[in-house]
Amino acid sequence: MKQIILPFRTGIPQIIEVPQPKVQEGHVLIRSRVSVISSGTEQMLLNFGQASWLGKVRSQPDKLRQVLEKIKTDGLQATIRSVRNKLDQPITLGYAQAGIVEALGVGVHDLKVGDRVASNGPHAEWVCVPRKLVAPIPEGVSDEQAAFTVVAAIALQGIRLVQPTLGETVVVYGLGLIGQLTAQILLANGCRVLGIDLQEERVRLAESFGVIPIHADPESIVSSHTGGQGADAVIITASSQRDAIMEQAAVLCRKRGRIVLTGVVGLNLRRDLFFKKEISFQVSASYGPGRYDPSYEQHGQDYPLAYVRWTEARNFEAVLELMRRGSLNPSPLISQRYPLANLDQAYQDLNRNLASLFLYPQAPESLSEVSKQPRDIKPTGSDIALVGAGNFCSAVLLPGLKAAKANIHSIYSQSGWKAALLAKKFGIPIAGADTQELWEDASVKAVLIATQHNSHASLTVQALQAAKHVFVEKPLAITTDEFAAVREALQLASTSLTIGFNRRFAPLALKAKGLLTALSGPISIVMNINAGSLPDDHWTRDPKLGGGRILGEACHFLDLCAFFAGSEIEEVCATALPTEGGALPESCQVLLRFINGSTAVLNYLCNGSRKYDKERIEIFKSGTTIILANWRSLQTFGFKKEGTLRQKQDKGHFALLHQWNSYLEHGGTPPIPESAILNSTAASFAVLESIRTNTWVHIHSGGYLRAAKD
């Protein structure tokens, strides 16, 4: 199928051929009929992509600070690679479409195949959208009208924040697409509406709906229509960096008036204007309550109507009802209609069109789940399939496999388009969205799993049951039941399991390990991991998606402690800083006892300064000390030859992938013993159990837990 993407490096939209997405749990698979080209939003994205490096930096000064901090901790080369990878990650364009339901995910019962629906899907022939972002189209509303549902919901949410009452006067500042829809809905609400825009034709269009035009001297015109009092409210839907728009909005307001910002303007406010009139100001967030909340959008957890009357889904329904009654009509706003293949012309006309549409074939050819390219290699019996196509896959895993000269058979992602892009970039023969046929493909010997954490265990079990060797990125599982299922599958499997505990293979880790091996006796380790904070809504912190940072990332360092100790972890005792609202514990301090008598303290902390070392490891053994800092330096004390070894940062990713590929091709033993994988994973669950019970937790051989004896 065809889809439009925008590479941020060039800022030039392009059509790509991608696999049809697979319907997911709680989602709806939709065959598109029409999608809206949002001139304001899409032009802003194009401008950002087409800006120079300096222009991109100026538009996002917060990102510049992050880059500078990363240079200090990780070095210039690692930072440049990271920035380039980010710029190489394209985005999909479009967020308003209408089409036909083709399939329903598990848990979706209130729609049926064949229903006409509107959604926030992108410009693509097929889209897979969470149920909460899909609304059935009522009879009497055309597909073209319904495609404006999401855009109109943005307008409606701004109006809801203004809380207009019958007969009030509202100024709409900016008569682009959202401004025109805002004006129509306000008129349907019984308001007197005045409109301002620099483009005269837009003002005339709004006037045809009943909007009072403001051509010049806005203050006098507003005063004349309000008896000298000023407007009750101003809704700003303009896109501009000028501060003057906010200033004029305040001038046009009456005393104790309201201003709501739906667009994007400069916010250097004049306090005296807001102070004298006691003006209220609020920024509107997209479609309404529920937007950007994963529990609502992805998991379908609705907000109770009695407490949140208008969610984004209910705003969609309200907009469609206005269209059904004829109170809202987007049709006069449509400037042009384009087939998807004419995207070049569509985006050249973007600034000239108020609203334009992409039209899709009504009866497309049957689509394959897999997009195949001509193979330039033959199956060797060591072919690797990747499942997952995120940033880490593109920045680390695929370059590492290519450096190891691995035979990459295929790549899969739920959306399909990300897999297709990476397949093209790295010359991978097959890109797909549905992994089902992967398990039955005898030419695939191994599977590398790099999806979100909640799917690691199930994919690992499926791959092992299909007699594939498995490399799974950390963590192995995010629940004890998942962990038990993986252990059971591994016991019955004829193939191997490897996990992405790459720091075992870092050059400095191997150097330190060699020095320690030459000494006798147990060791003591102090490992400080300055992990840094993440936003509250980051997916790794979601118990259902990421499992939290202890399972998702601290497991890595538990394994590294075991690697240096040369022994499995026997007991764990942990404490954690308190979290709010029942959130999973993050910043924790862990005591480890190893079978061979060694001990370790792991400080996994998320509340430190980014200017401090991200990873600092101190190892003590037989009168010697080794200090590793950020995988860039190794200091030795007490050895015959003391000193500091410095090198560019290398965390061992490529070395691990090289060893795994070598194992697949030549046999021998897997890079990491499976007993170590199970032990370190069990230890991460033991950390959570110890935090919960405030006691030592014992780890049995094979990864089973029980409370330690007093």
Please write the tens of the pLDDT for every residue from 465-497: 999 999 999 999 999 999 999 999 999 999 999
What is the pLDDT confidence band of residue 57, given thresholds at 50, 70 and 90? low
Residues 73-94 have a mean pLDDT of: 70
369, pLDDT greater than 60 = no
pLDDT bracket for residue 381 (50, 70, 90): low
Tell me how far apart the alpha carbons of residues 173 and 156 are, in angstroms, rounded to a whole number: 15
pTM beyond cutoff 0.85: no
Question: Is the model's pLDDT at 56 over the cut of 60?
Answer: no
Domain positions in the chain: 2-148+330-357, 151-283, 379-502, 507-707
Q: What percent of the chain has pLDDT over 90?
A: 73
As a dihedral over the C-alpha atoms of residue 334, residue 336, residue 339, residue 344, rounded to 10 degrees, the angle is -120
Q: Which helix (H) or strand (E) holds 423?
A: helix 417-426
704 pLDDT band, cuts 50/70/90, is low
Q: Are 558 and 684 in contact (CB under 8 A)?
A: yes
Can you tell me the distance from the alpha carbon of 147 to that of 188, in angstroms, rounded to the nearest whole number?
Answer: 20
Computed over every residue of the chain, the mean pLDDT equals: 90
Cα three-residue angle 165-171-176, rounded to 5 degrees: 120
How many Å is the maximal CA-CA distance in the chain? Answer: 92
| Residue pair 43/376 in contact by the 8 Å Cβ criterion | no
Average pLDDT over residues 526-542: 91
How deeply is 223 buried, as exposed, middle or buried, from its count of CB atoms within 10 A (0-12, 13-18, 19+)? Answer: middle
Q: Which residues pair with 470 in a beta bridge?
A: 447, 497
What pLDDT score was predicted for residue 477? 97
pLDDT of residue 367: 43
Token pair, residue 645, equals 């070894």
Judged by DSSP in three states, 54 sits in helix
Tokens 């149920």 belong to 131
pLDDT tens-digit map of 591-645? 999 999 999 999 999 999 988 999 999 999 999 999 999 999 999 999 988 999 9
**pLDDT range class, residue 709, cuts 50, 70, 90:** very low
pLDDT in tens, 664-677: 999 999 999 999 99
pLDDT at residue 386 is higher than 80: yes
Question: Is pLDDT of 53 > 70?
Answer: no
pLDDT at 498 over 90: yes
Burial class (CB in 10 A: 0-12, 13-18, 19+), 662: middle
Are 672 and 499 spatial neighbours (Cβ–Cβ below 8 Å)? yes
Report the pLDDT value the prediction gives residue 104, as an integer from 0 to 100.
96
Q: Tell which wins on pLDDT, 46 or 382.
A: 46
CATH class of 379-502: alpha beta
Identify whether the C-beta of residue 387 lies closer than 8 Å to the C-beta of residue 449: yes
Q: For residue 539, what are its two tokens?
A: 């997916």
The rounded percent of the chain whose pLDDT value lies above 70 is: 90
- String of DSSP letters for 451-481: S-GGGHHHHHHHHHHTT-EEEEPSPS-SSHH
Compute the distance between CA of residue 621 and CA of residue 518 in angstroms, rounded to an integer: 11
Tell me which of 15-24, 313-322, 570-579 is least confident.
15-24
Q: Is 595 strand, coil or helix? A: coil
| Among 161-165, 281-285, 292-296, the least confident range | 292-296
Domain 507-707: what homologous superfamily?
Dihydrodipicolinate Reductase; domain 2 (3.30.360.10)
d(CA 346, CA 343) in angstroms, rounded, equals 5
Domain pair 151-283 / 379-502, same fold: yes
**Exposed/middle/buried for residue 304 (C-beta within 10 Å: 0-12, 13-18, 19+):** exposed
Decide: 697 and 686 in contact? Cβ < 8 Å: yes
* Sheet containing 14-17, strands listed edge to edge, beginning at the edge strand earlier in sequence: 14-17, 2-6, 91-92
In this predicted structure, the answer to whether residue 201 has a pLDDT above a threshold of 90 is yes
Answer whether residue 710 shows pLDDT above 50.
no
Report the CATH number of the 2-148+330-357 domain: 3.90.180.10
Radius of gyration of the chain (CA): 29
Three-class SS of residue 247? helix
Q: The CATH number of 151-283 is which of 3.20.20.70, 3.40.50.970, 3.30.70.260, 3.40.50.720?
A: 3.40.50.720
> 176-212 burial, b if ≥16 CB within 10 A, otherwise e?
bbbbbbbbbbbbbbebbbbbbbeeeebbebbeebebb
Between 169-173, 279-283, 296-300, 346-350, the lowest mean confidence (pLDDT) is in 296-300
Taking alpha carbons only, the member of 178, 177, 189 closest to residue 284 is 178
Residue 180 has pLDDT above 60, yes or no: yes
pLDDT in tens, 119-168: 999 999 999 999 999 999 999 999 999 999 999 999 999 999 999 999 99
In terms of pLDDT, which residue wins out, 703 or 179? Answer: 179
User: For residue 223, which amino acid is it?
Assistant: S
Burial of 227 (0-12, 13-18, 19+ CB in 10 A): exposed
